[in-house]
Copies of this chain bind each other. A is one copy, B any other.
Amino acid sequence: MRELLRVAPGGAVDLGAVDPRSTPGLPGREVTGPQRKEWARGQLTLIGAELGRQQEMLFAEAKARQSAARPVGAAAGGGGSDAAAGGAGGRRVLLVLQAMDSGGKDGTVKRVAGAMNPLGLHVRSFGPPTPEELRHDFLWRIRRALPPPGYVGVFNRSHYEDVLVARVESLVPESIWQARYDEINAFEREQADAGVALVKVFLHISYAEQGRRLLERLDEPRKHWKYDPSDVDARARWDDYQAAYAEALGRCGTDAAPWYVVPADRKWYRDWAVAHLLRETFDTLDLGYPPAGFDVRRERERLLGSERTA
């Protein structure tokens, strides 16, 4: 799946050549017609369980490293994990989700990340920068949001907004956003070297499908909160956004941090494909449960010696 959906490093990507309704990698001969959706949903459940297992091993690895680094006797009562201790290096996974409005980022988080244990998840959504964020470099808020070692991070939008909306809406001069592709590549290379396995996914929907989804949000009062008038403004600039995506995906689709284009008009395919990409990324980590950092037999004796007779 990774080979199938991966953006070839280099120039701009031809997004027009990817059909948003297509289903690459889906075993087409055995599963056809309306059963495909059911099949993919069932597979998602299975893959989700596997993701949960991989996530636990990743978490266990980080905890074992943390315990090994701790001075003996320093930590009575503190068996828990510590998200605040993030900086220290160590493996983690980071799923970056980008899409046009209504492209399915939220749904993917719910379905795919929702299959994992929230204890080891680190989901961050990025909106328009706050005044404080604007006072810093565009990567400042991104660095602060990185998952700690052992965690699976999910970015719902990301630093790529700074070469997408910032470019299309001319929020900064061209010289600024032009420089950002290299800055992003350097940043992601640095993160990869620090142990972050990056999986960047562009959820690719069609213009027509976006129209249908936005209309649904307007016609269903319970979905009004998901609608923003600026969505239609951005839709008017669809081609500019597609061009900005094409360049970002091509220039920042690197070996250290590959980009994947997931056809996303069909939600069941989208969820199945993203889960698959995550599982394949986990596979490259070759995770296992860490060995005990203590004398098991001795601890067993201490524990049994603690039993109360009363």
Q: Which residues of chain B are near A296, meaning CB under 8 Å?
A: 218, 224
| A125 x B303 contact (CB < 8 A) | no
Q: Which residues of chain B are near A123, meaning CB under 8 Å?
A: 118-119, 121
Whether A77 is near chain B, meaning CB under 8 Å from some CB there, is: yes
Whether A222 is near chain B, meaning CB under 8 Å from some CB there, is: yes
Taking CB as reference atom, which chain B residue is nearest A118? B113
Known interface pairs A227-B294, A299-B218, A303-B218; A75-B235 also in contact (CB < 8 Å): no
Whether A17 is near chain B, meaning CB under 8 Å from some CB there, is: no
Max chain B Cβ within 10 angstroms of own Cβ: one of A61, A79, A82, A157: A79
Q: Chain A 63-89 against B: per-residue CB contact (8 Å), 1 yes, 0 no?
A: 110010010011111111111110000
In the complex, what distance in Å separates the CA atom of A123 from the CA atom of B154?
14
Whether A228 is near chain B, meaning CB under 8 Å from some CB there, is: yes
Whether A308 is near chain B, meaning CB under 8 Å from some CB there, is: yes
Stretch with Cβ within 8 A of B (4 or more), from A25-33, A162-170, A250-258: A162-170
Whether A307 is near chain B, meaning CB under 8 Å from some CB there, is: yes
Q: Which residues of chain B are near A290, meaning CB under 8 Å?
A: 224-225
| B83 x A125 contact (CB < 8 A) | yes
In the complex, what distance in Å separates the CA atom of A2 from the CA atom of B218?
38
| B207 x A308 contact (CB < 8 A) | yes
Give, as a whole number of angstroms, the nearest-CB distance from A77 to chain B: 3
Whether A133 is near chain B, meaning CB under 8 Å from some CB there, is: yes
Whether A300 is near chain B, meaning CB under 8 Å from some CB there, is: yes
In the complex, what distance in Å separates the CA atom of A14 from the CA atom of B79?
26
Which residues 122-148 of A sit at the B interface, judged by CB distance below 8 A? 123-128, 130, 132-133, 141, 145
Give, as a whole number of angstroms, the nearest-CB distance from A57 to chain B: 9
| B130 x A230 contact (CB < 8 A) | no
Q: Which residues of chain B are near A141, meaning CB under 8 Å?
A: 84
| B109 x A119 contact (CB < 8 A) | yes
Whether A16 is near chain B, meaning CB under 8 Å from some CB there, is: no
| B67 x A228 contact (CB < 8 A) | yes
| B230 x A303 contact (CB < 8 A) | no
Whether A156 is near chain B, meaning CB under 8 Å from some CB there, is: yes
Q: Which residues of chain B are near A80, meaning CB under 8 Å?
A: 105, 125-127, 156-157
Q: Which residues of chain B are near A188, meaning CB under 8 Å?
A: none
| B294 x A222 contact (CB < 8 A) | no
Instruction: Apart from A77-B164, A232-B302, list 8 A-B contacts with CB within 8 A.
Output: A61-B225, A76-B233, A79-B101, A109-B118, A118-B118, A121-B121, A224-B289, A236-B306
Return 19 A-B CB contacts under 8 Å, by A number. Answer: A60-B225, A63-B225, A70-B128, A73-B230, A75-B230, A76-B165, A76-B234, A77-B101, A77-B161, A82-B125, A82-B126, A82-B128, A114-B114, A116-B118, A118-B123, A118-B154, A211-B306, A224-B292, A232-B299
